Amino acid sequence: MSAVIQSIDTQLVDLPTIRPHQLSMTTMACQTLVIVRLRDSDGIEGLGEGTTIGGLAYGPESPESIKRNIDTYLAPLLIGQEASNINALRARLARHARGNMIAKSALETALLDAQGKRLGLSVAELLGGARQTHLPVLWTLASGDTQKDIDEAELRLAQRRHCDFKLKIGARSVAEDVAHVAAIKAALGERASVRVDVNQAWDETSAVRGIHALQEAGIELIEQPIPAREHAGLVRLANRFRVPMLADEAVQDARDGLDLVGAGFGGAFALKIAKAGGPLGAIELGRLAQTAGIGLYGGTLLEGTIGTAASLHAWATLGEMAWGTEMFGPLLLKDDIVAEPLDFHDFGVELPSGPGLGVTLDEDKLAHYSRQ
C-alpha cells in the first residue's frame, strides 16, 4: 500500500544574523524561517523551509502568513493524499490555492525530501541527477559602510570562501550608491567580480544614469534595477548597455521567462525556488532559459540550511550556472538548526549527500530558536 501524508506541522524559527544586512527596502538583523515537517504513514518525515526577507518588506508573503496559510489552507489539501505522486500534489495545490509560492515551495521541498528518503535517493537524483557537486557561491556585502564592506571582502578572499561579491544598493541616492560601489571595486580590482542588486529601487531614468556609471566602474552584472512589472524597461536597459541585466523579481516562473524572452530580453535570469513555488518550478524556468540562451544565476531569499540545500539540489541538475549562485544564507546566520552544516570551501559549497536533502535537524537548536 502506498504511503499517505498523515500530518504537516509548521514552526517559526527566529535566527539572528551575524551583522545588519541592508537592502533597499529594509535592514535585517534577524531571519525568520518557517520550518515544515511532513510525516507520512510509513514513518518517513520530509523537511521543508519557507523564507522571505524582512517580513512584508520584500513581497506579499510574511513568515506569519506562510505558516498560517499552510496550516489553514494548504496542509488540509495534502493530508490523506498519496505521498509519492508529487506532480499530482503540485497540481492539487495550484488548482485550489492561488499565489503563496513560498508556502508551496516549502511543502514541495518536504515532499521531495520524504520521497528521496523513501527511495534512498538524493533530491538531485530524484530530479534527474547532479551535473555538478561543488557549486560556486558569492557573498553579499550589505553593511552599507564602504570600508567595512572592503574589509569583509578581503577577509572572504583570504579565507578562500568567496571571490564574487554582490552589493545591495538603492537605499541611498544614485550618486552615493555609485561612489560606494566604485570604491569597493577599485579596492578589489581584478581579484574579484563585483555585481550590484538594486532591488527595484530606481525608475528607468535613474537606472540609465546609474548603470552608465557602474559600467564605467567595472561592475559585471546589474540585478533588477527597476520595478518587476516594467518588463519593457528592463528589455530597453538590457539592450542599451554592455553590462548584462539580471532579471530577478521580474521573472517568477517559466511564464514570466517566456514573456521576457519573447520581448527580446538578452540578460540573465535569477532562479529562486521560493518565487517559482518549489524546486520543480525553478528547474522549469531554468530549462526555458537554457533553451533561449539566457544565462542562469542561483538566487536566494536568505534561506537557512534546509531551503539552501533544496536550492542546491535543483541547481546541481542544471549544469553550468553562468553567473554562479548566492546560496550563502546559512553563513549570514549566527547559528543553525541542523546537525551538520553545509560545507563551504574553495569559493563554493558542496552538494549535500545522502537520501533526500541530506539534512538532519538538531532538535535542541530547533526548540531553542522556535518562536513560542
Residues marked as catalytic = 168, 326
Dihedral sign computed on CA atoms, order 59, 61, 64, 65: positive
124: nearest Cα among 343, 359, 347, 316: 316
Are 221 and 138 spatial neighbours (Cβ–Cβ below 8 Å)? no
CA dist., res. 161 & res. 171, Å (int)? 27
Q: Record the cell numbers describing residue 3, joined without a space.
A: 504511503
* Alpha helix segments (H runs only) across the chain: 63-69, 75-78, 86-96, 101-119, 123-126, 146-158, 174-188, 204-216, 231-240, 254-262, 273-276, 279-292, 305-316, 363-369
Query: Which residue bears the cell 551535473?
Result: 131
DSSP string, 18-72: EEEEE-SS-EEEEEEEEEEEEEETTS-EEEEEEE-STTTTSSS--HHHHHHHIII
**Residue 328, Cβ neighbours under 10 Å: how many?**
21
Q: Which three cell numbers stand for residue 288?
A: 526555458
d(C-alpha 215, C-alpha 196), whole Å: 11
Q: How far is CA 15 from CA 46, 138, 276, 338, in A?
A: 21, 21, 24, 13
Largest CA distance in the chain: 65
Question: Amino acid identity, residue 33?
Answer: L
